[in-house]
Amino acid sequence: MADYRIGITGCAGRMGQMLVREVLATPGCKLSAAMERGGHEWIGRDVGELAGAGSLGVKVGDDAVALFAASDAVIDFTTPAVSAINAGYAAQARAVHIVGTTGLSSDQEDELHSAARHTAIVWAPNMSPGVNLLFALTEEVAKALGPEFDIEIVEMHHRAKTDAPSGTAIGLGRAAADGRDVNLDKVAVRGRDGMTGARKKGTIGFASLRGGDVVGDHTVIFAGDGERIELTHRASTRQIFANGALKAALWARGKPPGLYTMRDVLGLNRR
Ligand code: NAD
């Protein structure tokens, strides 16, 4: 089989740089193109040299149409607005689109859903296998315990993170709500301050902490009368996300159009 051509957008970002190295280290994959936002200082420079891998002859571009045309799959950890627009380009080019970006609005999510009618898109707020197992466990435990246990989700991330709660925390909330057969939007309490009154039964609470270089900690707390269950995942390197994104790209090769998640990639979906 010919080399799988993978393009990276946002290649100068924290995740982008790691993804470039991950593609270069994966047998059977070829870095087809790399892109950054217009005006970025990396535009026009060789991405291999920037990644410390020597010259590859792949210059960082700023043209999304060219990126998708040159690639079988594009991995995209950028910003919500950019990823939503890119999904349309992926649909036009019939390229696999792996979206790790978090913080999408519901309109932006709708754009991913429409594009996924034409191509395979994997969108996951967290690409780590461990966190995706935590999603499945959270759903299971929420189902088993019932609403007399209060669910609270606590997350901590590095000081540069711009969205809160984290996409992963919201994903965990969704998993808990699915386990209870309720709609997260109807029961979520996103932050408390001042005279909030007593906790309402059946709600799912979120708390976000920011500081230092924390890669990502998530805990789901099930608090009952006289006992508490806590499920925790701690990420200590971004490598797990880059690794998961490559796994998703390889899995999606040749898949029919659709919006998939990491639980599909890892075979953790029960439905
Ligand atoms: P970052 O700010 O370091 O990187 C984002 C990059 O995208 C920047 O280099 C920026 O210049 C670039 N960019 C902006 N507009 C662009 C455009 N129009 N075209 C091409 N590139 C453009 O951020 P980061 O820490 O790498 O995170 C990026 C996103 O990924 C965030 O939403 C973050 O929450 C998410 N994330 C997801 C996972 C996961 O597993 N799904 C893991 C880590 C981070």
82 lines ligand 1 (CB under 6 A): yes
Q: Pick the catalytic residue from 30, 40, 118, 161.
A: 161
Other Cβ atoms less than 10 A from the Cβ of 147: the count is 13
- Residue with CA closest to ligand 1 atom 18: 37
Is the model's pLDDT at 58 over the cut of 80?
yes
Q: For residue 239, what pLDDT is reported?
A: 93
Structure tokens that stand for 197 in this block: 């009154």
Residue written as token pair 């087809």: 32
Atom of ligand 1 nearest to the CA of 40: 11
Check if 161 is active-site: yes
| Alpha helices (H) along 32-104 | 47-50, 64-69, 80-93
Is the model's pLDDT at 270 over the cut of 70?
no
Calpha distance 246→6 (Å, rounded): 9
Is the model's pLDDT at 269 over the cut of 80?
no
Atom of ligand 1 nearest to the CA of 99: 41
Q: Pick the catalytic residue from 157, 218, 233, 247.
A: 157
261 lines ligand 1 (CB under 6 A): no
Q: What is the pLDDT of residues 69-92, one digit of tens each?
A: 999 999 999 999 999 999 999 999
Q: What mean pLDDT do residues 241-259 have? A: 97
Q: What is the pLDDT of residues 166-191, one digit of tens each?
A: 999 999 999 999 999 999 999 999 98
Q: How far is the CA of 9 from the centre of ligand 1 (A)?
A: 9
| Segments of the chain assigned E as strands | 4-9, 29-35, 60-61, 73-76, 96-99, 120-123, 150-157, 188-190, 204-210, 216-223, 228-235, 258-260
Atom of ligand 1 nearest to the CA of 80: 32
32 lines ligand 1 (CB under 6 A): no
Q: What mean pLDDT do residues 9-14 have? A: 96
Q: What is the pLDDT of residues 37-49, one digit of tens each?
A: 999 999 999 999 9
Q: What is the CATH number of domain 129-235?
A: 3.30.360.10
Check if 118 is active-site: no
Q: How far is the CA of 102 from the centre of ligand 1 (A)?
A: 9
Q: For residue 51, what pLDDT is reported?
A: 86
Q: For residue 242, what pLDDT is reported?
A: 96
pLDDT bin (cut points 50, 70, 90) of residue 53 is confident
How is the chain split into domains, by residue range?
Answer: 4-123+238-265, 129-235
68 lines ligand 1 (CB under 6 A): no
Q: For residue 133, what pLDDT is reported?
A: 93
Is the model's pLDDT at 149 over the cut of 90?
yes
10 lines ligand 1 (CB under 6 A): yes
Q: What mean pLDDT do residues 15-32 have? A: 96
79 lines ligand 1 (CB under 6 A): yes
Q: For residue 220, what pLDDT is reported?
A: 98
Q: What mean pLDDT do residues 88-108 have? A: 97
pLDDT bin (cut points 50, 70, 90) of residue 64 is very high
State the DSSP string of 135-200.
HHHHHHHHHHH-TTSEEEEEEEE-TT--SSS-HHHHHHHHHHHHHHT--HHHHEEE---SS--SPP
Calpha distance 220→177 (Å, rounded): 12
Is 39 in a helix, a strand, or coil? coil
pLDDT bin (cut points 50, 70, 90) of residue 268 is confident
Longest dimension (CA), the chain: 63
Q: Please check whether residue 157 is in contact with residue 125, taking contact to mean a CB–CB distance below 8 angstroms.
A: no
Architecture of domain 4-123+238-265: 3-Layer(aba) Sandwich (3.40)
Q: For residue 20, what pLDDT is reported?
A: 96
Calpha distance 251→269 (Å, rounded): 15
Q: What percent of the chain has pLDDT over 70?
A: 99
Nearest 5°: CA angle at 211, between 210 and 214?
95
Pocket test for ligand 1, best of 15, 83, 233 (most atoms within 8 A of CB): 15
Q: What is the mean pLDDT of the chain?
A: 96
Calpha distance 164→186 (Å, rounded): 18
pLDDT bin (cut points 50, 70, 90) of residue 197 is very high
Is the model's pLDDT at 271 over the cut of 80?
no
Q: How far is the CA of 79 from the centre of ligand 1 (A)?
A: 6
Q: For residue 154, what pLDDT is reported?
A: 98
